[in-house]
Amino acid sequence: MDTPTVPEAVLRAVGDFLTFRTFISPGVLAIAYYVGAVSIPMLAWLIARRLKVRLAAALDEGRWPGAAKPPALAWARVLGLSFIAFVAMEIGWRMLFEFLLANFQIREALLAQVG
């Protein structure tokens, strides 16, 4: 029988991990993606809360480029740009992790080809 005992299997797994023959990143990437996908909107909301006071003051003082327009239209423009920025951030975050996972899949395919 060639099946290793439990201590041998654990030692082999630890050795593979320490010599970078086994990666833990694909599993960790999934967790990091979801943490970031939830954290990005929360961070954007916190930043928006801080900027709201400044923006309101800028609109009231007429320093905003759209200040000559009715305030509701200026706020609509700000909300529209905020929504576009949020969607762009989420898509960029997703693309980053898809790229990283694709690199691991390419590695696995190459290792399968080699033997």
19 DSSP 8-state letter: T
Per residue in 34-72, pLDDT tens? 999 999 888 888 887 887 777 777 766 666 665 555 667
Per residue in 73-112, pLDDT tens? 777 887 888 888 888 989 999 999 999 989 888 988 898 8
d(CA 88, CA 82): 10
Distance of CA 71 to the CA centre of its chain: 34
Tokens coding 88: 């762009």
